[in-house]
Amino acid sequence: MKIVGVAACTVGIAHTYIAQEKLENAGQVAGYEVHIETQGTIGIENELTQEQINEADVVILAVDVKIAGMERFERKKVIKVPTEVAIKSPNKLIAKAVELSSK
């Protein structure tokens, strides 16, 4: 299974990168390919390619603010949560993504 997503917090520093790391690690431990783009004070990093988005089964948006490029995910299954959820419960969030992808 392939998961892509975006992490973005209100300040665009700490929680953005912690959420990215937690989601990528939880996904890898579960055996999935996970790519998380970050949007913060220094702009977009690890920008998702259109190919990654097209191949993704689910999109996880761990965001506390409006993000750039939402239109990229229009036809995808999307889970949107605050960054805090991705940080505190990344394994549950990955499990929810797996459940959504099978519907």
DSSP output for 34-73: EEEEEEETTEEESPPPHHHHHH-SEEEEEESS--TTGGGG
Quick check: is 26 catalytic? no
Return the H-helix or E-strand segment holding 4: strand 2-8
Structure tokens at 49: 């390619």
Selecting among 3, 7, 8, 9, the annotated active-site residue is 9
Q: Which residues belong to the active site?
A: 9
